[in-house]
Amino acid sequence: MIKNFFKLIANEFSLMIKGSIFTFVLFCLLMIASSIFSLALRHVTFDIEIPLAFLWIMIFFISLIKVEKVYASDFSEAKLQQYILSPFALEIIIFVKNIMIYLNLLFLFFIFSPVILVILNIKLSYLISINFLLALSLLSIVFISSMTASITISRNNKLSITSVLTLPLFVPILIFSMAITNVIDFDIHKLYLFFLAYFLLNLAFSPLLTSFALKKLSV
């Protein structure tokens, strides 16, 4: 069983590497969007909250597009049947796949983040805090996106509109991410603890709901 589990991880890692080009393209588009955003507001004076909110919203859309792309490819009808017949529960496969997507997005963000912060006129002194905060929040974003993607790619198109019900789950992430700009008056350790707790909350039901959506809505 352990040997098969390592094979599963190796297979998902291989799929992650193959999908890195698409992720790279998404982050290139993020840099272009950030440049347009900065140029459009170059004569306007604003606090860090605005570019930071823009960055988090763009990361949300990048994650959603990436997860949906992976799920549409890896959970096609034929491949889904293979996953169901595998020795592991579909929830475990979804967990491993989401972690690989998370690592893929996080690695490329770490590479692009210094340039993105410069483009958005965010002080590089925030680099480590933003990277660490995004590393925590991205966990929840990916697992929430998996629920959205599993409904969106379903063959039952009438139910695809229900995927918008998952969008409010992103709101706490955006709100608490803005607190990083006021770390003097806000206990930063409690902020990190919130994102960790929020991820554990999503981890408790995201694989189950994603698995249910894939098996029930794709038939």
Domain spans, the chain: 2-217
Over residues 91-114, the pLDDT tens digits come to: 898 999 999 999 999 999 999 999
What mean pLDDT comes out for the span 76-101? 85
- Give the type of residue at 45: T
Identify which has the larger pLDDT, 84 or 54: 54
CA distance 188 to 143: 24
Does position 159 have pLDDT exceeding 60, yes or no?
no
CA distance 16 to 29: 19
- Give the type of residue at 109: F
CA distance 138 to 163: 19
Does position 66 have pLDDT exceeding 70, yes or no?
yes
Does position 122 have pLDDT exceeding 80, yes or no?
yes
Identify which of 94, 16, 27, 104 has the alpha carbon closest to the alpha carbon of residue 59.
27
Over residues 46-58, the pLDDT tens digits come to: 677 788 888 888 9
Give the pLDDT of residue 171. 79
- List alpha helices for 41-164, DSSP H: 49-74, 77-85, 90-119, 127-152
